[in-house]
Amino acid sequence: MFIIHDYPVAVVFCVITMLCWGSWGNTQKLAARDWRYEYFYWDYVIGLLIFSLVLAFTMGSFGGEGRSFIPDLEQASLASIGSAVLGGVVFNAANILLSAAISVCGLSVAFPLGIGLALVLGVLVNFLGEARGNPLYIFAGVLLIVAAIICNSLAYRKKNPGKAGAGTRGILLSLTAGFIMSFFYRFVAAAMDHPGEISGSSTGKLTPYSALVVFACGVLISNFIFNTIAMRYPVSGDRVRIAGYFKGSTKTHLVGMLGGAIWCLGQSFSLIASGKAGPAISYGLGQGATLVSAVWGIYVWKEFRDAPRAAHQLNAWMFILFLAGLFFLVYAGSH
């Protein structure tokens, strides 16, 4: 299987993760023109699972290092499999809420608030679980990102001064999603080989590729519960019936699957990079996706088109503070 041995390469993989995690939401925006997010999310989960299997049978099975996918699953302990499945369940609960938040307040708000909070708490959770990287620089980066989240929240308030109800709902959905999402990565990381053993030499543990497939199964299984609840009790609009899903066009379904595949590629690169960079830094850099999604939302989807000047100034500070925070996280991993 493919394994990373150098920290700079791990950073590059984390940057790709950041681009993938910050861009998948565009597929929801594309599908949302005539498609409810609850329907979109079924395709998203299917795409995630299919692409995880593609990666497992290619990058996770070729080459002379480590165990290939099938032998790795056969030797994995129930504890490791259960931990990865639980990671998928936790992620799915958070991501459905994030999708709901995108439908209410857009990419440029849902991601900086939700994923920004997930970044802050997730870095702390993963660092406590496995202390790798300089803690001074890690926590400095976290504080800067907290300031960036506050700026984005204030910008959204400036943009929607007369829509307190919708604004509050969007912010609460984003923050709740971020809080839950901060925990999923730790469960997946706990199921994998420790750094230095990432090639698959640790008996009972999973390689990143196998962990990703088991994680995706957890997402799919839990989706029958979480998305059914979301369809029955939508955050906005009328109740959604499953029969409507089968009325979607092939193109619409493929757009949703593409969204899941994009996120899955990012997750796989993050897990692969964690062996060299450490879970806290790998996760934290990947969640710099907040910047990418904010760029999409503000400059491509024009979600702040009619916002006052103060909102644009606050968003500018958000970008500056996020970039500074991400710089400290990268620097922490090399010192």
In a domain, 229, yes or no: yes
Distance from C-alpha of 296 to C-alpha of 118, rounded to nearest angstrom: 19
Quote the pLDDT of residue 165: 55
In a domain, 73, yes or no: yes
Using DSSP's 3-state secondary structure scheme, residue 178 falls into: helix
Residue 193: which region, alpha, beta or left (left: phi > 0; alpha: psi -120 to 50)? beta
Distance from C-alpha of 272 to C-alpha of 307, rounded to nearest angstrom: 40
Q: Which two tokens stand for residue 187?
A: 């469960």
Residues 6+ apart with CB under 8 A from 27: 40, 44, 255, 256, 258, 259, 262
Quote the pLDDT of residue 195: 46
In a domain, 5, yes or no: no
Quote the pLDDT of residue 283: 86
In a domain, 1, yes or no: no
In a domain, 138, yes or no: yes
Quote the pLDDT of residue 222: 98
In a domain, 79, yes or no: yes
Q: Could you list the residue range(s) of the whole structural domain that residue 49 is in?
A: 10-333
Quote the pLDDT of residue 197: 46
pLDDT digits (tens, 9 = 90+) for 5-47: 898 999 999 999 999 998 998 999 888 777 999 999 999 999 9
**Helices (H), ranges, the chain:** 7-23, 25-31, 37-57, 69-75, 78-105, 107-110, 116-129, 135-159, 164-181, 184-191, 208-232, 250-277, 279-286, 289-295, 309-333
Count: domains in the chain: 1
Q: Which residues of the chain have pLDDT under 50?
A: 195-197, 200
